[in-house]
Chains A and B, each alone.
Chain A
Amino acid sequence: MSEPAIPLLLLVDDEVQIRRLLRITLEGGGYRVAEAETGASGLTEAAALRPDLVILDLGLPDLPGPEVLRRLREWSQVPVLILSVRGGEGDKIGALDAGADDYLTKPFGGGELLARVRVMLRRQRAGEEPNAIAIGPIEIDLAARAVRKRGQLVKLTAKEYAFLRLLAVNRGKAITHRQILREIWGPKAEAQTHYLRVYMAHLRQKLEDDPNHPLYFTTESGIGYRLSDG
C-alpha cells in the first residue's frame, strides 16, 4: 500500500488573522493548507484543489454559511468542519443539517481543532462501515446487533440500539436532534425532542459508569449529541 499523501485542508474564512493562526496551527500539526477568503472563492478552490477537509467559517461576507455548504454538497462529500461564534446555534444546526460534519465554537484552542481534524480525517479514511465499533469500554457488534460493556452483554431495546448505532457510526461527530429523530422516529417526530432525552437517559443508565456525569455520551448544548472516546 502506498503511503497516504499529506492531507490538504482548505480554510475558508474572511479574517486574515484567523487564517494565519489556523495555518500555523494546522501546518504545525503536519497538514498542507490552502486558503480562501470568500464563500464563492472557497467553492472554486474546493473544486480545483479537491481538499481532504474543508474548514468553513459561517460568518462570511458574501454568502451565508449554510448556502456555501449546500452548494458544496451538490457535488462533493468532503468532510466539513464549521467555525461559528457563540449564540449562533440556529446557524450551526442549519449547517449540520445541511451536511456539515462537525463544528467548533470560536474562540477555541489549537489542540481542540487538531483533535477534531484528526477524527474527521480518520473517519474519512475508514471509508466502508466497519463491522464492529469500540468506544471506551463499549463494544458494538454491528453485524450481530450486540452491545457489550466490558465484555458483559447489555440488553437494549430496538430504538435504544438504533440511537446508539447512529451515534456510533458517526463517532466523534455531533448529530443534531433533528437528524436523530428523523432517522429513528421518522420525519413526523422531528419536534419530539423529549423522546431523545428519555432514550439518552436510558443509554447512559445502561452504558455509562456514572450516568450523572457521562463520559462518552455528551450533550451538545442546544444542538444534539455526540458519542466519543471521552
Chain B
Amino acid sequence: MESGVSRPNPDALLASIQRTEAKARRGRLKVFFGMAPGVGKTYAMLEAAHKTGAAGVDLVVALVETHGRAETEALLEGLPVLPRQTVEYRGTRLGELDLEALLARRPRLALVDELAHTNAPGRRHAKRWQDVEELLAAGIDVFTTLNVQHLESRADTVRQITGVVVRETVPDSFIEAADDIQLVDLTPGQLRERLAEGRVYLGDRAAVAADNFFKESNLTALRELALRLTAERVDKQLRALREDRNISAIWRSGERLLVAVSPSPFSTRLIRWTRRMAYALDAPWIAVNIESNRPLGPAAKALLDDNLALARALNAEVIVVPGEDVAASLVRVAQLHNVSQIVVGKSRGHPLLELLRGGSLVDRLLRRSGQIDLYVVPAEPRTGRNRWRDWRLSVTSAPAEYATAFGTVAAITVLGLATKGWMGYWSVSLFYLSAVVILGLFVGQGPILLAAGLSALTWNYLFIPPIYTFRIDKLEDGLMFVFFFVMALVTGRLTGRLRAQAGTERSREQRATALYQLTRAIASARSTDEVIRDAGAQIQELFGAKVAILTPAAGGRLSLHPAATYVANDKEQGVAEWVFRNRRVAGRFTDTLPSSEGFYLPLVAGEQALGVMGLKAPADESLSVSQRDLLDTFSTQIALALDRERLRATEEAGRLAQESDKLHRTLLDSVSHELKTPLAVIAAAAEQLDGAAAAAAERPSLLRELRTAVRRLQRLVNNLLEMTRLEAGALQLRLDWTDLHDLVNAAVETTREAAAGRRIAVQVPEELPLVRLDFALIEQAVVNLIHNACVHTPPEATIAVSAGVDEGAAEVWLAVADTGPGLAVEPAGRIFDKFVRGRPDQAGGLGLGLSIVRGFVEAHAGRVEAGNQPGGGARFTIYLPFVRSGSVPSE
C-alpha cells in the first residue's frame, strides 16, 4: 500500500452514486429464493406482503399460484387480487398476468409469483421476468419467487446434478440487480417429508421424474447451490457497502476474463462457466468470436448468434474479430483488453489434423499466451452429425454452378479430343487443370470437386492409354493422374477460399463504408431529415430491409417520418410506442412482442428516447450479432442527430423568446411615447387656457393644438383596439350589401379634417353593382389608407380614392393613390407588418395602421397590395372577392 490514508476512488464513488440514482426511479425487486419447488417461497412472500400491507402500503396480488394449498390460499385472504387475463392457446385456457391492467392500476407493490414462467405465445413479453422488468421500470415494487435451477448460469449445473433439462431461465444480471434476495430454506429431509405428505405441487410432471428430482443427494446439491449463491451475493453486497462507506481501501481483483465463442453448442457451457467465474472474481469479461473467412452455413450462423446473444445477456462485452489464426487472434484481443485469463474449450479435433495445423488450439494458445492464464474447460462428447452437416454445407452450391462445372469439363474434353493428335495426351491434362483453376474463381467448392473429379476420370478414360478404360498401365501415367487430381483439388479449393475471403472483406468493407458515410452525413451538420433519409437508405441497402423512423408528434403519439419506406400499421405502431416508452428493443428477433412484423430499436440520446427505428426484413432473414451491432451504431448516430436537432430547436425557441421580449419592449416604448406626447400637449394647453393671462388671441391656436392632440390619441387608441380585436381573433364580419359610393364618401368624410388641405379626389364609376362586405371594417381600412397617404405626403399633394368592380376576375378593388415621394420600404409587402413604419425617421405613428388594413381585408378573404406608381407616388389597392347580389323585386 502506498500510504495509510484511505481516499475514495472518484470513479467508484461516482458509480456508487449512479447506482443509487438509477434505483431511486425504479421499483424495488425482492426475490424469495429457494432450492426447489415446495420450500414455501409463495407462502413466505404472502406473509411478507401481509406485513407490508399492514404498514399501509398499496399492494396488489398480480399473480400468485397457490396450487390449491389451503394454507397458502388462506394467506391470500384480505389481499387485493388482480384478475388474471384469460388467454386461449391451442384449446387451453391460460390465466396470465394482466400487465396492462397492473400498469394502469399502479400499485406501490405487486406480487408476481414464479419469475421464470414462460408466457403464452402472443403476450407482450416472452418471459415473465420481462413483465416484472417493465413493472420495475414503471416504478412499481415487486415481490417474486424463484428456484435456483431457473437461474441462467446455474442451469447447466442443475442439469448435471439432476439430469433435468431446465428451459425456463432468468438472466443472472436481472437477479443481481434485485434489491433484496430472501432465501427460503428447508433441509432436504423436511422437503422430502412435505413431498411425502403431498404438500408439494409437482405440476404435470410424471411422478417418476419428480421422484428422481427430489432424491436426497440432488436436494443437497441444489441446496448448496442456492446457499452458495446467496452467500456470494451477501459477500458482494458487503463489498458494495465498503465502497459506499469507504471502510478501507479495496484491492480490486484487476482480473479480466475472455472466453472464446464459436458456433458450437458447447460454447453456451463455456460462456456460463466464464460468467460464474467472473461473478465470483467480480471481474469484467469479454466474449470473443474469431470470424474466419470460411463462410458459415445458416445453422452454424444461428448457433453463433445465439451464443453471442447469451454472452451479451449475461453482461459480457461481445467482440467479433476477423482472423484466420484463432489462437493468434485471441491472444491479440486479450492483450489489447488487458485480459488476465482466457477460457477455451478442450477441442476434440483429429490428432493428425491438429498436428498439421501446428497443434491444437490449446497448444497454440499455450505457446503464445505468455502471462495470461489459460483455463481449458472440457467439452462434452460431440455428436457425429454436426461434422457431416458441416461438410455437406460446404458443398451446397447453386445447381447452375454444378452445370457450369460440368459444361466446362465437357468443353475441355471436346477440345482435347480435337487436339490430342498433334499435342499428346499429357498436354490435355494441362487444359483440364487450367479449367479447374479458372472455375475456382467463379463457383463454390462442391462444383470444383465435381470438376476436378470429372476431369481426372474423363482424362483417364478418354486419353490415357489404353483408352476407353479406367486402367492405367504405365507408372508415369499413374503418377500423373494422382498429381493431377491432387493439384486440381488444391488449386480449386484455394481459389474458392480466396474468393470467400474477398466476399467477407467486401461485406466488412461495405459495413465500414456505410458507417463512415452515415457518420459523415451527421457530422456535416445537415438537416435531421437528410440524416434520417441517408440512414434509411444505407440500412435498406445493407440489410435489404424496409426502414421506418418514428418521432414523437404533438399529443404524445409517434408519427412516421416521411423518409420511411414502409408504413407501420396500428399494431406495429403499438410496438413502436412500447419501445419508445420503455427505451428497449422489441418486435421480431426479440423476446418482446416477437410476433410483430418489424424489429424496433429506440433512438436514445442520453436518458431520453427521441424516436424509434423500425426495420422490416424479408421473412427468411435473421439478424446476426454483427448486424445488431451495426444497427445499434446506426440508431445511436440517428439519435445523436435528433438530439442535436432538438438542442437546436430549444436554442431557437430561446432566441425567439428573446426577440419577442425585444419586440414587447419596442412596443411598450413606442406606445408610451405615442400616448405621452398628446397627453403632454393637452395638459399644457389646458393649463394655458386656465391661466387668466391667456389672451383671447391665443385661444384659437391653443384649441387647435388641443383638438389635434385629442385626435391623435383617438387614432392611437382605436388602432390599438382594432389590433387587439384582430389578434384575439374576435373579429366577426357583419357582411352587408354595400354601395361603394357610400363607403368611399364615408371614408373621405371621416378623413376630411386629417387631410389638412390636401385635395382628395374621388373616382368611382356611376354605375356599380352592390358589393358584399363589412361596411365598418372596410371603411376603416380605406380611412387608414387615406390617413397614411396624408401622413406621408406634403400638404399640397393630391390623394385619389378610386373603386371598381372587375367582374371577370370576380374582384372588387378600392385604391388610394397619392402624389407624394412613394414607398421607401423594401420589399413593399413588409410595410403591412406590425410596427413597420414607412419612414422610421419621421416622428409619430406606431406602424399599426397598415397592418390593421391587411387584417381587415384578409378577414374578407381579400388581399392588399402596395407599390409605387409609374408617375410617382404610392398606391395601395385593396382587392375583395365579388359576388353579385340577388335581384330586387320589381314593383
Interface centre among A87, A197, A199, A201 (most CB of B within 10 A): A197
Contact B764 A212 (CB under 8 A): yes
Contact A198 B888 (CB under 8 A): yes
Contact of A214 among B745, B764, B774, B889 (CB under 8 A): B745
Contact A195 B779 (CB under 8 A): no
Query: Is A125 among interface residues, defined by CB-CB distance under 8 A?
Result: no
A-B contact pairs, 15 of them (CB 8 A): A86-B718, A87-B721, A158-B891, A194-B737, A194-B885, A197-B738, A197-B742, A200-B739, A201-B739, A213-B745, A219-B739, A219-B742, A221-B746, A221-B776, A222-B736
Contact of B770 among A87, A197, A219, A222 (CB under 8 A): A197
Q: 12 new A-B pairs (CB below 8 Å) besides A87-B722, A107-B710, A107-B714?
A: A87-B725, A194-B737, A194-B885, A195-B889, A197-B738, A198-B770, A212-B741, A213-B745, A219-B742, A219-B745, A222-B775, A222-B776
Query: Is A193 among interface residues, defined by CB-CB distance under 8 A?
Result: yes
Contact A212 B746 (CB under 8 A): no
Contact A219 B746 (CB under 8 A): yes
Query: Is A76 among interface residues, defined by CB-CB distance under 8 A?
Result: no
A83 to chain B, nearest CB (A): 16
Alpha-carbon distance A140/B714, docked complex (angstroms): 40
Contact A221 B891 (CB under 8 A): no
Question: In this complex, what residue of A is CB-closest to B750?
Answer: A221
Contact B734 A194 (CB under 8 A): no
B708 to chain A, nearest CB (A): 14
Interface residues of B in 406-442 (CB under 8 A from A): none
Alpha-carbon distance A90/B886, docked complex (angstroms): 24
Query: Is A192 among interface residues, defined by CB-CB distance under 8 A?
Result: yes
Interface string of A213-227 (1 = CB under 8 A from B): 110000101100000
Alpha-carbon distance A177/B739, docked complex (angstroms): 14
For residue A107, which residues in chain B have a CB less than 8 angstroms away from its CB?
A: 710, 714
For residue A199, which residues in chain B have a CB less than 8 angstroms away from its CB?
A: 888
For residue A222, which residues in chain B have a CB less than 8 angstroms away from its CB?
A: 734, 736, 774-776
For residue B859, which residues in chain A have a CB less than 8 angstroms away from its CB?
A: none
For residue B885, which residues in chain A have a CB less than 8 angstroms away from its CB?
A: 194
For residue A211, which residues in chain B have a CB less than 8 angstroms away from its CB?
A: 741
Interface residues of B in 452-489 (CB under 8 A from A): none
Alpha-carbon distance A198/B776, docked complex (angstroms): 19
For residue A201, which residues in chain B have a CB less than 8 angstroms away from its CB?
A: 739, 741
Interface residues of B in 857-891 (CB under 8 A from A): 885-886, 888-889, 891
A126 to chain B, nearest CB (A): 29
B122 to chain A, nearest CB (A): 63
Query: Is B671 among interface residues, defined by CB-CB distance under 8 A?
Result: no
Alpha-carbon distance A193/B885, docked complex (angstroms): 10
Question: In this complex, what residue of B is CB-closest to A159?
Answer: B891
Query: Is A62 among interface residues, defined by CB-CB distance under 8 A?
Result: no
B885 to chain A, nearest CB (A): 4
For residue A87, which residues in chain B have a CB less than 8 angstroms away from its CB?
A: 721-722, 725, 776
For residue B718, which residues in chain A have a CB less than 8 angstroms away from its CB?
A: 86
Query: Is A89 among interface residues, defined by CB-CB distance under 8 A?
Result: yes
For residue A200, which residues in chain B have a CB less than 8 angstroms away from its CB?
A: 739
B412 to chain A, nearest CB (A): 101
Query: Is B762 among interface residues, defined by CB-CB distance under 8 A?
Result: yes
Q: How many A-B residue pairs have CB under 8 A?
A: 57
Interface residues of A in 59-103 (CB under 8 A from B): 86-87, 89-90
Alpha-carbon distance A197/B775, docked complex (angstroms): 13
Interface string of B762-802 (1 = CB under 8 A from A): 10101000100011100100000000000000000000000
Query: Is A124 among interface residues, defined by CB-CB distance under 8 A?
Result: no
Contact A221 B779 (CB under 8 A): yes
A residues contacting the other copy or chain, number (CB 8 A): 26
Interface residues of A in 179-197 (CB under 8 A from B): 192-197
B718 to chain A, nearest CB (A): 7
Contact of A195 among B721, B746, B888 (CB under 8 A): B888
Interface centre among B737, B738, B742, B776 (most CB of A within 10 A): B742
For residue A89, which residues in chain B have a CB less than 8 angstroms away from its CB?
A: 734, 776
For residue A195, which residues in chain B have a CB less than 8 angstroms away from its CB?
A: 888-889
Query: Is A41 among interface residues, defined by CB-CB distance under 8 A?
Result: no
Query: Is A44 among interface residues, defined by CB-CB distance under 8 A?
Result: no
Alpha-carbon distance A193/B774, docked complex (angstroms): 12
Interface string of B720-740 (1 = CB under 8 A from A): 011001000000001011110
Contact of A197 among B710, B737, B762, B779 (CB under 8 A): B737
A56 to chain B, nearest CB (A): 22
Alpha-carbon distance A198/B890, docked complex (angstroms): 11
Alpha-carbon distance A159/B888, docked complex (angstroms): 12
For residue B770, which residues in chain A have a CB less than 8 angstroms away from its CB?
A: 194, 197-198
Question: In this complex, what residue of B is CB-closest to A189?
Answer: B889
Alpha-carbon distance A214/B742, docked complex (angstroms): 9
Contact B762 A212 (CB under 8 A): yes
For residue A221, which residues in chain B have a CB less than 8 angstroms away from its CB?
A: 746, 775-776, 779
Contact A193 B776 (CB under 8 A): no
Question: In this complex, what residue of A is CB-closest to B740?
Answer: A197
Q: Which 3 A-B pairs have the closest CB atoms?
A: A194-B737, A194-B885, A222-B776
Alpha-carbon distance A224/B766, docked complex (angstroms): 22
Interface centre among A159, A212, A214, A221 (most CB of B within 10 A): A221
Alpha-carbon distance A159/B889, docked complex (angstroms): 11
Question: In this complex, what residue of A is CB-closest to B767?
Answer: A201
A200 to chain B, nearest CB (A): 7
Alpha-carbon distance A115/B738, docked complex (angstroms): 28
For residue B889, which residues in chain A have a CB less than 8 angstroms away from its CB?
A: 195
Interface string of B553-592 (1 = CB under 8 A from A): 0000000000000000000000000000000000000000
Question: In this complex, what residue of B is CB-closest to A201?
Answer: B739
A162 to chain B, nearest CB (A): 10
Contact B891 A157 (CB under 8 A): yes
Contact A90 B762 (CB under 8 A): no
Alpha-carbon distance A87/B770, docked complex (angstroms): 23
Question: In this complex, what residue of A is CB-closest to B776?
Answer: A222
B310 to chain A, nearest CB (A): 77
A216 to chain B, nearest CB (A): 13
Alpha-carbon distance A101/B608, docked complex (angstroms): 69
A67 to chain B, nearest CB (A): 21
Contact A197 B734 (CB under 8 A): no
Alpha-carbon distance A56/B762, docked complex (angstroms): 37
Alpha-carbon distance A34/B888, docked complex (angstroms): 48
For residue A86, which residues in chain B have a CB less than 8 angstroms away from its CB?
A: 718
A60 to chain B, nearest CB (A): 20
Contact B888 A194 (CB under 8 A): yes
Question: In this complex, what residue of A is CB-closest to B744?
Answer: A212
For residue B774, which residues in chain A have a CB less than 8 angstroms away from its CB?
A: 222
Interface centre among B725, B764, B776, B779 (most CB of A within 10 A): B776
Alpha-carbon distance A199/B888, docked complex (angstroms): 9
Contact A192 B739 (CB under 8 A): no
A219 to chain B, nearest CB (A): 4
For residue B888, which residues in chain A have a CB less than 8 angstroms away from its CB?
A: 194-195, 198-199
Alpha-carbon distance A197/B887, docked complex (angstroms): 12
Question: In this complex, what residue of A is CB-closest to B718?
Answer: A86
For residue A214, which residues in chain B have a CB less than 8 angstroms away from its CB?
A: 745
B856 to chain A, nearest CB (A): 12
For residue B764, which residues in chain A have a CB less than 8 angstroms away from its CB?
A: 212
Contact B745 A212 (CB under 8 A): yes
For residue B742, which residues in chain A have a CB less than 8 angstroms away from its CB?
A: 197, 219
For residue B766, which residues in chain A have a CB less than 8 angstroms away from its CB?
A: 212
Interface centre among A192, A199, A200, A222 (most CB of B within 10 A): A222
Interface centre among A86, A87, A194 (most CB of B within 10 A): A194
For residue A159, which residues in chain B have a CB less than 8 angstroms away from its CB?
A: 891
Interface residues of B in 331-384 (CB under 8 A from A): none
B211 to chain A, nearest CB (A): 94
Alpha-carbon distance A107/B796, docked complex (angstroms): 30
Contact B737 A193 (CB under 8 A): yes
For residue A90, which residues in chain B have a CB less than 8 angstroms away from its CB?
A: 734
Alpha-carbon distance A196/B885, docked complex (angstroms): 12
For residue A197, which residues in chain B have a CB less than 8 angstroms away from its CB?
A: 737-739, 742, 770
Contact A193 B746 (CB under 8 A): no
Alpha-carbon distance A89/B738, docked complex (angstroms): 16
